[in-house]
């Protein structure tokens, strides 16, 4: 799948701090010791906590049960789980966020061999949701 930065322009009406579009890299993974079942999602934060414009892409885990918390020692220094979400990566670069998510996919779903890529705004590497005229 190709992911285009133009997909993340519209704010979510229920939470204008984030973009309406989110991309799930996987919808779930089977829980294992130290890491409960969760989905892995990419979103763009449009406003920071003070309401100032920002352009940070976030990769986060969404746990189906808000009380689930990963215990994996490699997660040291990450933000805690809040309302069932744990932000595990932020970057102003969509490419960096997608690359990080692709590595996470391999950790939990090694059978996946095809990875998401950044839209280049021209076919054949253009997202079906790309708004750039080419």
In this predicted structure, what is the pLDDT of residue 40?
Answer: 94
User: What is the Cα Rg of the chain in Å?
Assistant: 15
- For the chain, give every domain's residue range: 2-118
Q: What is the mean pLDDT of each run of 10 residues along the chain (134 residues)?
A: 94 96 89 82 95 95 75 52 85 97 90 89 93 82
Predicted model pTM: 0.86
Tokens of residue 68, six digits = 């689930």
54-93 in b/e burial notation, b at 16+ Cβ within 10 A? Answer: eeebbbbbbbeeeebebeeeeeeeeeebeebbbbbbbbee
Residue 76 pLDDT: 47
**Which tokens go with 7?**
């997909």
Q: What is the pLDDT of residues 18-47, one digit of tens each?
A: 999 999 999 887 777 778 888 999 999 999
């Amino acid at each position: 799948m190709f992911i285009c930065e133009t997909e993340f322009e519209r704010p979510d009406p229920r939470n204008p701090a984030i973009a309406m579009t989110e991309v799930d890299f996987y919808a779930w993974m089977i829980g294992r010791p130290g890491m409960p079942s969760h989905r892995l999602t990419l979103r763009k934060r449009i406003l920071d906590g003070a309401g100032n414009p920002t352009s940070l892409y976030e990769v986060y885990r969404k746990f189906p049960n808000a009380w689930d918390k990963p215990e994996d020692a490699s997660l040291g220094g990450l933000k805690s789980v809040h309302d069932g979400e744990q932000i595990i990566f932020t970057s102003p670069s969509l490419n960096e966020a997608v690359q990080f998510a692709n590595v996470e996919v391999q950790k939990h779903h090694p059978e996946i061999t095809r990875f998401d890529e950044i839209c280049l705004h021209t076919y054949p590497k253009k997202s079906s949701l790309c708004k750039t005229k080419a």
